[in-house]
Structure 1
């Protein structure tokens, strides 16, 4: 089995993590931070918005089961790629829509999917496409957050609907 990695940011990492944990072929999901200038940032530092980091998920996946393209199509379904530095009530550069590509092939695929998605959305896509940058794992209490806290307010009203939408739209991709 060959494992590849994808790093994606599209708002709060709890939302992305909860969805990608359900995707067949995704072998590991981890919440973290990347794209900033401060080494080893904390959640509190990232939330202030001064470190330049985005909240992201790092996905390990088996491309024989789920392609990078499939992961990106899911990504563009579960967040709004047309709002700059914002997802719903989450506002700031840490919530930007961004794809950190790991290879020239991932970059080319991402460019193609972004171009295709431009025809789906009514507003321009603002998703950044950047090469991989230093990645930092988020604190342990952020890992698998939705499964541990499904009744917490943000999880119940923001994360749960995204997971439900994914499950309804991508039944063929469920574990």
Structure 2
């Protein structure tokens, strides 16, 4: 198993997307890329710590490759929007890939260059950074979508991301 870490807006959204991929396990919502140890949620969402809301996951590269994870990452948020995803605004909602090794860094660079050339009219603003300490968010933020699908935020923000996932990445979904 390998580890991947992504920030692309609200971690509830990102967690819900990656939980549905075959070969992905142990998706955890949390914070990374900031200035203090063990930041509390309320401080992160107020933009006081420099952390991004992010997920960290384990994946089996024999089942799903890192490049597919990156394609899902880019397809389920707007990587050309600086520090903003939908209604969520601030540095804590930035688009950022936290690579864990040189292969992940090179693969992310390659995918970004390809998407900038072939897909997006506006330049991708996703940051590419070495993995830093990851702090698990409080328990009420874990598995949020699966426990609260009737929540309005889930219906308006997360459901469309899951529809994109089902339409573009069906062969990679868990049964």
Tell me which stretches of 4 or more aligned residues in structure 1 moved more than 3 Å.
none
User: 1:125 matched to which residue of 2?
Assistant: 124
Displacement after TM superposition at 1:92 (Å): 0.1
Give distance in 2, aligned partners of 1:113 and 1:163. Answer: 22
Give distance in 2, aligned partners of 1:157 and 1:10. Answer: 17
TM-score (norm 1): 0.97
User: 1:90 matched to which residue of 2?
Assistant: 88
Residues 21-100 of structure 1 correspond to what in structure 2 (within 5 A)? 21-100=19-98
Give distance in 2, aligned partners of 1:13 and 1:35. Answer: 14
Displacement after TM superposition at 1:109 (Å): 0.5
User: 1:153 matched to which residue of 2?
Assistant: 152
Instruction: State the SS of the aligned residue for 1:79.
Output: coil
Displacement after TM superposition at 1:122 (Å): 1.4
Instruction: State the SS of the aligned residue for 1:111.
Output: helix
Give distance in 2, aligned partners of 1:167 and 1:59. Answer: 20
TM-score (norm 2): 0.97
Instruction: State the SS of the aligned residue for 2:72.
Output: helix
